[in-house]
Structure 1
Amino acid sequence: MKKNRLLAVMFFYTTLIMLLAGCGGKSDSSSANPQKAEEDLKLVNEGKLTFAMSGLLKPLNYKENNELVGFDVEIGTEISKRIGLEPNPVTNPWETILQGLKGKKYDVIIGSMTATEERLKQVDFSDPYYISGAQIFIAETNDAIQSKEDLRDKSIGVMQASTHKEVAETLSTDVKGYPSEIFALQDLIPGRIDAVITDKIVGVSAIKEQGMKIKTVDGVLNREEIAVAINKDHQALLDKINGAIAEIIEDGTYEKISMKWFGVNIMED
């Protein structure tokens, strides 16, 4: 009887040890092993999130005292920190920026790239980190224009040869071309034109940086989602980036960064 009891006790402890060993074996996963987790992210530089931009789009991304600064840089830096990586912003000419990503020169593009159907054939995109598109701007004192329907027979300024010209021509027969969006916006104040259609970011930047007394009408005319571009075989990194974007929006960090650079929350369209 004692022998049977001893055998039963030995069997119990042997089984328990095996179960514990089995549980211990499962901990050898990417979630419990930081080095393995980083390998899954397929980073160009170990411990860093290397993100590219043109460096020529003030205030989105540009150089100041030989250092990359701007809205994109701060968003990229915050994303990097949230996924436990050191931020490493770099520049690349815009015309070859997608080729550089596919050639693994950097991990992602955080450079104000619009997620389009054509680009989606080559790369994946994160959830948007801001919304842009064609926007109507008028003088701050103009109360006659309340919506795009009020632009009929009104004069609209656009940059020459831009896609905004086509949009403007669907709203008015009086469309005037300018060599620069800023020149067009400056003509709003003295009333030389009634409205300007330009990119939302161009207009809100003019308000914030130059103190232009202008305002928006309606939401964006053609919604563009600006997102992080990433190679198609980097799902683990894409998931982490989406999680980081959601987190910085939820905890208010995003709005603080946006207000700093634009004076408005550019996630809202």
Structure 2
Amino acid sequence: MRKFLLTTLLGILLLIVAACGADGGDSEEVAGDSSGDGGDGGDFTFASSGLYPPFNYSDNDKLVGFDIEIGTALAEEMGMNPDPVTNPWQTIIAALNSDKFDAIIGSMAITDERLEEVNFTEPYYESGAQVFVAEDNNDVTSIDDLNGAKIGVVVSSTFEENAKEYTDEVITYDSDVTALQDLLVKGRLDAVITDQLVGMYAINENNLAIKQVDEPIYLDQMGIAIKKEDEELLDKVNEALQTIKENGTYAEISEKYFGADISGE
């Protein structure tokens, strides 16, 4: 009798295990079907330093700015969920190539050196490398006065390389905001080289007592950086970028931050 009961219980247990196995197989198949939807949907994770107002910065612990809104518009155009994140600027390309995010939308200038490591979309705006000094600084009145000066720049930026053409005293910062504020500390800096729009924003919106010197040193074209091997995403972002320029979304975002369309088109 005991043997019969054990045999019966063993049989019931085997039936339960078999049933669970069948259910598990069905669940796995459904999961596989949901991921094979042609690449639509999902998150579009894009990175910036988060320290570059008005392009990308934190406001009440939320990432905001021109770059963030452009990235959000691109994600929505591609049918994806926007997921903006931050990463230190000096390691941002390495982080992209380590699959920490899908793209860099952080006002990154397109350079030959960077093109060796990543691909860039078509430029999404153009701006100039501008010299700024304290409002009461009358010693630096032209680009020629930068020779031998103490110049502040963001680390690993194109501005850092440019500053080294004028002086050995290049002081690097994680944030343009901090560099510009240091112009007001006597004896700390003679000048800062940064994006013209960033400096003008600090003057107009933050009432920082600084002024621009001369015309821009040069113009940069800014692109969205994407991994070399991700050509499909590059094409999708380029297509979405063209669409938001044509349908007025880009211009609306640009007008909000700069009072003009900075696309150059």
Cα RMSD, aligned residues only = 3.9
Are positions 1:263 and 2:259 aligned together? yes
Equivalence for 2:71? 76
How many percent of aligned residue pairs carry the same amino acid?
A: 42
Cα deviation 1:194-248 (Å, max 9, x = unaligned): x996421223313441357968965x43221111110111111111111111122
Q: AA paired with 2:230?
A: H
Equivalence for 1:38? 39
SS state at 2:39 partner: helix
Q: Distance between the aligned counterparts of 2:99 and 2:109, measured in 1?
A: 20
Matched ranges for 1:164-243 at <5 A: 180-181=179-180, 198-210=194-206, 220-243=216-239
SS state at 1:127 partner: coil
Give yes or no for contact 2:48–2:106 (8 Å, CA) kept in 1.
yes
Equivalence for 2:241? 245
Q: TM-score scaled by structure 1?
A: 0.61
Give yes or no for contact 1:125–1:230 (8 Å, CA) kept in 2.
yes
Matched ranges for 1:154-165 at <5 A: 159-160=151-152
Give yes or no for contact 1:62–1:69 (8 Å, CA) kept in 2.
yes
Equivalence for 2:26? none
Cα deviation 1:126-146 (Å, max 9, x = unaligned): 1111112323679xxxxxxxx
Tell me: CA distance 1:163–1:182, structure 2 relative to 1, closer, same or farther (3 Å): farther
Are positions 1:94 and 2:89 aligned together? yes
Q: Distance between the aligned counterparts of 2:117 and 2:66, measured in 1?
A: 25
Q: Distance between the aligned counterparts of 1:227 and 1:83, measured in 2?
A: 18
Cα deviation 1:157-184 (Å, max 9, x = unaligned): 9844755657789xxxxxxx9x944576
Equivalence for 1:62? 57
Tell me: CA distance 1:153–1:217, structure 2 relative to 1, closer, same or farther (3 Å): closer
Give yes or no for contact 1:54–1:91 (8 Å, CA) kept in 2.
yes
Give yes or no for contact 2:48–2:105 (8 Å, CA) kept in 1.
yes
Q: Distance between the aligned counterparts of 1:152 and 1:95, measured in 2?
A: 26
Q: Distance between the aligned counterparts of 2:39 and 2:52, measured in 1?
A: 31
Give yes or no for contact 2:55–2:65 (8 Å, CA) kept in 1.
yes
Q: Distance between the aligned counterparts of 1:57 and 1:243, measured in 2?
A: 26
Cα deviation 1:85-120 (Å, max 9, x = unaligned): 110111222222112111111111111211111111
Tell me: CA distance 1:38–1:155, structure 2 relative to 1, closer, same or farther (3 Å): closer
Structure 1 stretches of 4+ with a deviation exceeding 2 A read 34-37, 135-138, 150-169, 179-185, 195-199, 201-204, 210-218, 262-269
Tell me: CA distance 1:251–1:93, structure 2 relative to 1, closer, same or farther (3 Å): same
SS state at 1:222 partner: strand
Give the Å deviation of 1:249: 1.7
SS state at 1:37 partner: coil
Tell me: CA distance 1:47–1:115, structure 2 relative to 1, closer, same or farther (3 Å): same
Q: AA paired with 2:64?
A: V
Equivalence for 2:136? none
Q: How many aligned positions are there?
A: 209
Gaps of 5+ in 2: 1-34, 134-140, 154-159, 172-177, 185-189
Q: Distance between the aligned counterparts of 2:233 and 2:80, measured in 1?
A: 11
